[in-house]
Structure 1
Amino acid sequence: MMHLDKNQKVLFLTNIESGLEHILQEVSDIRPENMLTIQNYGPVTLNSYGDIMRSVIIAIHQENVKEIFVVAEDKRDASENSLSNLNSIKDQIRKSDDDVQNSMAEFLDGTVDDWLTGKENVSENIKNCVDIISNHSLVPSNVKVQGLIVNNENGKFSVADILEYSN
């Protein structure tokens, strides 16, 4: 169980597919009206000046958020269907014209595959997101940013690990 101020607004960055709101409320003991969630399709990946980061910054300043959790589900085995869909998207990108590929490369920190699928290592992906948020010039230094890994065994969610990183 996390020990958070029930009256404090807490921001959770989560995967849109996972439906983690219930377990997050349970383990954080935060009232539902104080839980803010930004959902992303697939693993949370951040760009310092992308849409998700803009939403994080606005939430911090408009909602007076003092605590942020980057949440990921520990999925050791991705489904074959989701891998097939990602491969199809990658094929479409490879077949696109040079202008599209060059404009994508201009905005990516890594490869198109990294951008599309996120990092394979859940802890590494979370650490990268926590670092980006914690070190962003528009995020006040008093905002605490942590990672949270959740397991889903037999349809039941549980907290696997709370990752605290020092800046």
Structure 2
Amino acid sequence: MIDEILDFNKVFVENKGYEKYITNKFPDKKLAIVSCMDTRLTKLLPAALGLKNGDAKIIQNAGGVISHPFGSVMRSLLIAIYELDVREILVIGHTDCGARYTDSQKMIEKMKAYGITQDNIDMIKYYGVDFDLWLGGFMDLEDSVKKSVDMVHKHPLVPETVKVYGLVIDSVTGELTRI
């Protein structure tokens, strides 16, 4: 697969396919979005929101969940606010999310099937990682979005002037519902 990608990229650059994507690092709409890494959202999400390249910072992870107040998603949002002039944040969950019902215990069993040893799993637990919290899913989509919105809204390093909204996008139609 990597060879295929590199071959395509060489032609892309030679043909200046990048020119239509040229922008700068500052989001034109002063907007950051936290959403899921689901492949259905790759093009659907920006299209459903009327966004073009350069309009927003889009942070994607499994479930679109902000799981820790000092984790990588919050770090990215703080950099977006203070270095890239973001003034609004959208947390967007989606219907039929694959991360929703993730079971950490089943995932641990899959890890073992791939050759991860119990010693390695125990070592991670030793360092205080709660596998259920870290790898587990969520039952209620709207509640998950609300928790992430609250984490940003109440974060001690996020200024009150930054607006934070929660939404759910239909992963088929792109319809947005405000939470």
Fold similarity call, TM over 0.5:
yes
Query: How far is 1:43 from its partner?
Result: 4.0
Stretch moving more, 141-150 or 36-45:
36-45
Please give the alpha-carbon distance, in whole angstroms, between the structure 1 residues aligned to 2:148 and 2:104. 25
Which residue of structure 2 aligns with residue 3 of structure 1?
none
Stretch moving more, 16-25 or 66-75:
16-25
Whether 1:125 and 2:139 are equivalent positions in the alignment is no
| Greater C-alpha radius of gyration | 2
Give the 5 Å matches for 1:17-166: 17-75=38-96, 78=98, 87-89=106-108, 92=112, 95-96=118-119, 98-105=122-129, 108=130, 112-152=131-171, 156-163=172-179
The TM-score normalised by the length of structure 2 is 0.67
Gaps of 5+ in 2: 1-26
The TM-score normalised by the length of structure 1 is 0.71
Query: How far is 1:39 from its partner?
Result: 1.0
Query: How far is 1:86 from its partner?
Result: 6.8
Give the conservation status (yes or no) of the 8 Å contact 1:44–1:118: no
2:85 maps to a residue whose letter is: N
Gaps of 5+ in 1: 1-5
Aligned length: 147
Query: How far is 1:114 from its partner?
Result: 3.0
Please give the alpha-carbon distance, in whole angstroms, between the structure 2 residues aligned to 1:94 and 1:72. 33
Give the percent of matched residue pairs that are identical in Structure 1 and Structure 2.
26
For residues 50-107 of structure 1, the C-alpha deviation after alignment (integer angstroms, 9 at most, x for no partner) is: 111111110111111111111111227x59xx958971326759934654313134xx
Root-mean-square deviation over aligned CA pairs: 3.1
2:126 maps to a residue whose letter is: N
